[in-house]
Amino acid sequence: MTDYLGYLYSLLVFSGGIVGYVKAGSVASLVASTTFGSLSAYGAYLVSRDPRNVAFSFVVCLALLIVMGVRFSKSGKFMPAGLVSVLSLVMVARYGLRLVA
């Protein structure tokens, strides 16, 4: 079963970095989004092959949740750190439920 939400999440992460690069010239955003977007896409691929194989995706989403959650708590700005934190929290909960089930 294809992990459509996982692929959508990775697309949103990747596209957010492109927007950050285009709007502000942030190479760090581009590198981080390419890295995390690729890792989360690979995780979605793994989950698509075996729906119980969620550990990799869980760790990637948790890492992004922590990084962007800290940024959001420091800046207080919802875009982009707050949005990515919320999306990552949803994905961590989704994969976490599969881990314990």
pTM equals: 0.94
The band of 101, judged by pLDDT with boundaries at 50, 70 and 90, is: confident
The pLDDT of residue 62: 98
Residue type, 72: F
* Per-residue pLDDT tens over the stretch 11-65: 999 999 999 999 999 999 999 999 999 999 999 999 999 999 999 999 999 999 9
Q: Do residues 95 and 49 touch, judged by C-beta distance below 8 A?
A: no
What is the C-alpha to C-alpha distance for residues 40 and 7, in angstroms, rounded to an integer?
7
Q: Do residues 33 and 14 touch, judged by C-beta distance below 8 A?
A: yes
